[in-house]
């Protein structure tokens, strides 16, 4: 094994990391190289290369049931290649490559992880106050936990897959040291990956809680660390830990927005507003990062919000119908227009609404398991969210456990659509059967099916990555998915 000490780094636009699976991961391309000695230098490194301000996941946007096909006025080679993501084909990477598009979802996350590793390994030796060191270390640990959470939920089976235990299934490769190795790294189990994730996030919150600094919505703080901890434990079905972390986050989180009176900066053209839901300007935003794939915008592409999603907004007086999306006038090609992402920022946010939904689901599951007092606690969280989304709202009253579960899942879908949650939620809800219909350039409609517990719920690892790391094992691949007309 080759081990190198990373004592030269490049900040901002001069820091370029090329990740090649788990082989010779890092190449440094520098105009201004320096040795980071101070905590401030590590903080700048994390901000410039560890945080994600560009696209990370260019795949799962296309794969859930919140979008469907639609006639389009643009059928480029890229959009036609995206059809194979949209229809869950195992050869999706080759289709993108043939259209001169390289998807680097796998590499993107590991690139960020390697930066976090450098900081986690070395920052405690830097020149700075204990408080400064703890802050940057807590940020790096939170980011590494999140990046691994994404990787293991894209390229491995769900933690709660009932067909076998997490320690019996392949997760992803664990790289937790800032060293270059000349051999590949095999995949750890799903259980071991989550063990690393939980160790990172618990250490992170203990550090960030010591000095509850808020450096703005573009940097991790104690609130965002507790939020992602609640999501991690939600995926693991550790309900008490979900409640613990969501409650701690809510103590410092911004209040929910009362949506019926919320105004976009451009009322006539909400998509041109600077303060949509997915933005740094939305009042309940806790953390904002990344970007949607540039090819993912709806207008001009062959996909749109699904009728299945839109029909879930069946209750009257729900302001999200009109603020998060709107049906277009008859005669338009696209039946719905999405307003959650404006032109200024088309990325991801973590926001207060998720905390209420995470905690409500945990209380609901405890209620189902026999903890009678938890039913009303779940209802309280749902009503808190809903009273800020509906006009003339009347509180939901606790009834059966099944009814409460249905409402929890329905509210989660309605509130968080197009924010990077739905694909992962479908996986942990048992990987149900879903359909997508592709509308070709000549108007032909072809329906494709992702069956219950389909291998397509776990994405394949690209051949380029496999070629660079001979120790990786490919996921189970579905056969060619044939559509019906």
| CA–CA separation, 214 and 13 (whole Å) | 25
Residue 331 has a pLDDT of: 75
Average pLDDT of the residues in 143-167: 97
Average pLDDT of the residues in 309-326: 96
Contact 271, 326 (CB under 8 A): no
Nearest to 28 by CA among 48, 42, 9, 12: 9
CB count within 10 Å of CB 294 equals: 11
Query: Average pLDDT over the chain, rounded to whole?
Result: 89
Nearest to 391 by CA among 319, 445, 484: 319
Strands (E) in 278-427, as ranges, are 285-289, 303-305, 325-327, 336-338, 348-351
In this prediction, residue 441 has a pLDDT band, given cuts at 50, 70 and 90, of confident
Nearest to 312 by CA among 301, 324, 300: 324
Residue 19 has a pLDDT of: 36
Model confidence pLDDT, tens digit, residues 386-424: 999 999 999 999 999 999 999 999 999 999 999 999 999
In this prediction, residue 8 has a pLDDT band, given cuts at 50, 70 and 90, of very low
In this predicted structure, the answer to whether residue 26 has a pLDDT above a threshold of 70 is no
238 burial level (CB within 10 Å; 0-12, 13-18, 19+):
middle
Q: Torsions phi, psi of 304, nearest 5?
A: -155, 170
Residue 179 has a pLDDT of: 79
Q: Torsions phi, psi of 482, nearest 5?
A: -95, 130
Strands (E) in 235-295, as ranges, are 285-289
Q: 3-class DSSP state for residue 341? A: coil
Model confidence pLDDT, tens digit, residues 187-235: 999 999 999 999 999 999 999 999 998 999 999 999 999 999 999 999 9
DSSP 8-state class, residue 291: B
344 vs 21, more confident: 344
Q: 3-class DSSP state for residue 448? A: strand
437 burial level (CB within 10 Å; 0-12, 13-18, 19+):
middle
Quote the tokens at residue 32.
Answer: 């201004």
Model confidence pLDDT, tens digit, residues 327-384: 988 778 888 999 998 776 668 999 999 999 999 999 999 999 999 999 999 999 999 9
Vertex 55 angle, CA 64 and 16, to 5°? 150
In this prediction, residue 32 has a pLDDT band, given cuts at 50, 70 and 90, of very low
In this prediction, residue 255 has a pLDDT band, given cuts at 50, 70 and 90, of very high
Average pLDDT of the residues in 49-76: 88
Q: What does pTM read for this prediction?
A: 0.92
DSSP letter string, 156-225: S--TT-TTS-GGGSB------SS---SS--PPPBHHHHHHHHHHHHHHHHHHHTTS-----TTS--HHHH
Q: 3-class DSSP state for residue 396? A: coil
Cα dist from 264 to 259, 271, 299, whole Å: 10, 9, 20
Sign for the CA dihedral angle at 22, 24, 28, 33 comes to positive
Average pLDDT of the residues in 300-307: 87
């Amino acid at each position: 094994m080759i081990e190198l000490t990373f004592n030269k780094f490049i900040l901002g636009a001069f820091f370029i990391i090329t990740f090649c699976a788990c082989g010779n991961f890092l190449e440094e391309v520098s105009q201004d190289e320096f040795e980071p000695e101070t905590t401030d230098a590590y903080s700048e490194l994390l901000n410039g290369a560890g945080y994600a301000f560009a696209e990370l996941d260019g795949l799962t946007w296309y794969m859930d049931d919140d979008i469907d096909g639609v006639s389009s006025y643009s059928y480029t080679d890229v959009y036609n290649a995206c059809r194979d993501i949209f229809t869950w084909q195992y050869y999706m990477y080759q289709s993108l490559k043939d259209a001169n598009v390289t998807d680097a979802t796998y590499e993107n996350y590991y690139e960020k992880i390697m930066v976090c590793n450098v900081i986690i390994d070395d920052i405690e030796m830097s020149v700075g106050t204990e408080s400064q060191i703890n802050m940057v270390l807590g940020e790096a640990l939170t980011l590494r936990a999140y990046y691994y959470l994404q990787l293991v939920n894209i390229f491995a089976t769900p933690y709660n897959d009932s067909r076998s235990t997490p320690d019996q299934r392949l997760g992803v490769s664990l790289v937790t040291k800032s060293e270059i190795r000349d051999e590949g790294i095999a995949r750890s189990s799903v259980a071991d990956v989550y063990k690393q994730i939980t160790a990172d996030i618990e250490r992170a919150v203990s550090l960030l809680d010591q000095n509850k600094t808020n450096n703005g919505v573009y940097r991790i703080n104690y609130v965002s660390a507790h939020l992602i901890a609640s999501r991690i434990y939600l995926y693991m079905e550790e309900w008490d830990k979900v409640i613990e972390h969501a409650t701690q986050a809510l103590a410092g989180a911004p209040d929910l927005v009362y949506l019926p009176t919320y105004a976009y900066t451009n009322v006539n053209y909400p998509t041109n507003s600077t303060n949509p839901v997915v933005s740094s300007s939305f009042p309940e935003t806790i953390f904002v990062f990344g970007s949607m794939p540039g090819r993912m915008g709806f207008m001009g592409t062959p996909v749109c919000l699904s009728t299945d999603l839109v029909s879930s907004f069946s209750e009257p007086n729900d302001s999200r119908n009109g603020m998060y999306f709107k049906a277009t006038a008859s005669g338009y090609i696209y039946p719905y227009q999405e307003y959650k992402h404006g032109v200024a920022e088309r990325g991801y946010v973590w926001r207060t609404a998720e905390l209420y939904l995470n905690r409500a689901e945990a209380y609901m599951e405890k209620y189902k398991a026999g903890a009678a007092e938890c039913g009303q606690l779940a209802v309280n969280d749902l009503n808190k969210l809903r009273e800020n989304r509906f006009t003339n709202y009347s509180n939901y009253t606790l009834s059966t456990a099944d009814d409460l579960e249905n409402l929890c899942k329905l509210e989660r879908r309605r509130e968080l659509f197009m924010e990077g949650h739905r694909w992962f939620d479908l996986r942990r809800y048992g990987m149900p059967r879903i359909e997508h219909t592709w509308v070709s350039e000549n108007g032909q409609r072809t329906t494709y099916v992702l069956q219950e517990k389909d291998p397509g719920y776990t994405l394949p690892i690209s051949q380029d990555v496999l070629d660079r790391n001979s120790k990786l094992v490919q996921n189970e691949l579905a056969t060619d998915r044939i559509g019906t007309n």
